[in-house]
A and B are shown apart, each in its own frame.
Chain A
Amino acid sequence: MFSFCADPSALSDARWFACYLTTGKIANFYLSFGTVLLLLAITAPAALAFGFAGATAARSRIAPLRWLGQSYTAIVRGVPDIAFFLFFVIALDQGFEWIRHKIRCPDWSEPIRQGNDFVVCTAAKLPLSTSPQWVHEVYGFFLAVLTFAIVFGAFAANVLYGAMRAVPHAQLETAEAYGMTHRQCFWRILIPQMWVYALPGLSNLWMVLIKATPLLFLLGVEDIVYWARELGGTANPRFTDYPHGDWRMWFFLGLLIFYLGFTRVSELVLQRLMNRLTRGQATSGGERQRKARA
């Protein structure tokens, strides 16, 4: 990177670090922060969509749909979510392969579960064994995102369900009195007013989502935890120009600080958003804002 990096062993500490922190290997570590941010950027809206669908289903007038929504919101209550993460990654993978197997190889006669193996025809493998490495990585990441979206969707469904119930009932009754249909009431009255009640729960969920990102590591994605462990380990002078001892502690300290900073920034942003959303609402927060301005 820098011109003085030619012979790292002769450098002073500050320059040594300047060189070390700009090597190609460490760049992997920086890129993996991008992976985490990408995961958050995709998962947050996806989970919100799952949650919205779940909450809407849970208050549906059609009983089977209602049961489906309610059990979706209930699954996450009693069981550690890390178990769900580990479960869904394999289950989704097998589910996709099973569906493809049914479509692509209808005349396959052998059972799919043979003892301790899960066997589908080659054309149904996901990704195909002929596809390049990056497809495998993207598929792994996609599975991880879907898993996150399902699990956090259940949490979001809980929050949104509560928020829909928190909208004053008189508002809905008024809308009905004006002759709005059920659908109009839902989209024009309930949904716009719901967000202010949902926001505290959703911001809590965002914090939790941030804090759940290191679990990507368990789903087999090469994320920050993976690289911190890889790069932090003792670097032998025989294999690298930048030998060092066991620095995993410092790498994880870095991650700890990164997460602390990230949650702190989110906290401040969400606080401002909450202030914006409370404006003009018939809640104690909105009332306080009105009085402060008056």
Chain B
Amino acid sequence: MSCWETLTDYGLRSLGIGERLLPRGDYTLCKQVVLIGSGMIWNIYFGVLALMAGFFLATTVALGKASENRLFRKPAEWFIFLFRGSPLFIQFFFAYFLFLSLKGVAPFFSPLTSAWLGALVVLFLNTSAYSGEIFYGALLSIPKGDLEAADAYGLSGWSKFRRVVWPTMLRLAWPAYTNEAIFMFHATTLVFFSGFPASQQNGDALYYANFFADKTFNPFVPYPILACYFVLLTLSVITLFGAVNRRLNRHLPAETRQRLRIRPQILR
């Protein structure tokens, strides 16, 4: 079987398109590269959607935590504490079994027990809490002078938030948020190891890497392949977020701009 055929057979295997059975015996390098790459579709799906949706909830949570009103502040604080204080792995398990019970009560909840929605919800809430904390920190470090200037121009309420507070908050939070995005993508590898079933063996990249390592009893091929994919993903995240960072900082003189610094903040 040529490598091209492998690509057409297994390229979209993680979505259930193409060959139904996973390869048995004869685990060529090509098969491993294609199948693990196919699994990356899920990692990107989870990461991109959770980050995009989480961005808005994170802003809300950060504003809530910075609010003077206890009614907004307390729930936001608890939300952040709940999701940052416990392991994502346990959150996945708990959410999965919670969704199972809900499904028993009402069939309406049954999509939540499959990974594409259930795990996405958990990742969405998790990243909202982590980025909410980052945005909150940035919100507190907005220079006083900027806010006074906004007042002096007669801005208030929504227009002050939209024109001064929010852009400055984003600008200050962006390096940390880039980091969060990278580790969000890394966290997506936990999904299929934590209760959520991979139906018909449609799993993510780590699921397939683990599959190959189990079958060939040789971890030195599949895991480095996975590592390459993730390094590429990390680099593209850095490129994309770096472009946004330049845009957010474009009004500042070059030497005061914040550089992106990637620091490992790791597992959740």
Interface of A toward B, CB cutoff 8 Å: 76-83, 86-87, 90-91, 94, 113, 116-118, 155, 158, 204, 208, 210-215, 217-218, 225, 228-229, 232, 246, 248-249, 252-253, 255-256, 259-260, 263-264
Contacts and interface: CB of A to CB of B under 8 A. Distances in A.
Contacts of B234: 77-78
Contacts of B91: 256
Interface in B206-241: 206, 209-210, 213, 215-220, 223, 226-227, 230-231, 234-235
Contacts of A246: 97, 100-101
A249 B100 contact: yes
A259 to B, nearest CB: 4
B189 A260 contact: no
Contact of B266 (A113, A155, A229, A264): A155
Nearest to A252: B94
For chain B, give the interface size range.
35 or more
Interface stretch (B11-19, B82-90, B141-149, B156-164): B82-90
Given A246-B101, A259-B86, 20 more contacts: A79-B186, A80-B187, A82-B189, A83-B206, A116-B27, A116-B215, A118-B218, A155-B266, A208-B267, A214-B87, A225-B90, A225-B93, A246-B100, A253-B94, A255-B93, A259-B90, A260-B81, A260-B82, A260-B85, A263-B86
Interface of B: 25, 27, 81-82, 85-91, 93-94, 97-98, 100-101, 185-187, 189-190, 193, 206, 209-210, 213, 215-220, 223, 226-227, 230-231, 234-235, 262-268
Given A211-B86, A214-B87, A78 B230 contact: yes
Contact of A87 (B87, B89, B215, B223): B223
A252 B90 contact: yes
Contacts of A249: 94, 97-98, 100-101
Nearest to B43: A80
A204 B85 CA distance: 11
Contact of B223 (A86, A155, A210, A228): A86
B10 to A, nearest CB: 18
Chain B, interface SS category:
helix
Contacts, number: 128
B268 to A, nearest CB: 6
Contacts of A155: 264, 266
B241 to A, nearest CB: 15
27 contacts: A76-B266, A79-B231, A80-B187, A80-B206, A80-B230, A82-B206, A83-B223, A83-B226, A86-B223, A87-B219, A87-B223, A91-B220, A118-B217, A158-B263, A158-B264, A208-B265, A208-B267, A211-B86, A211-B87, A211-B267, A214-B87, A214-B90, A218-B193, A225-B89, A225-B90, A229-B93, A232-B97
A220 to B, nearest CB: 12
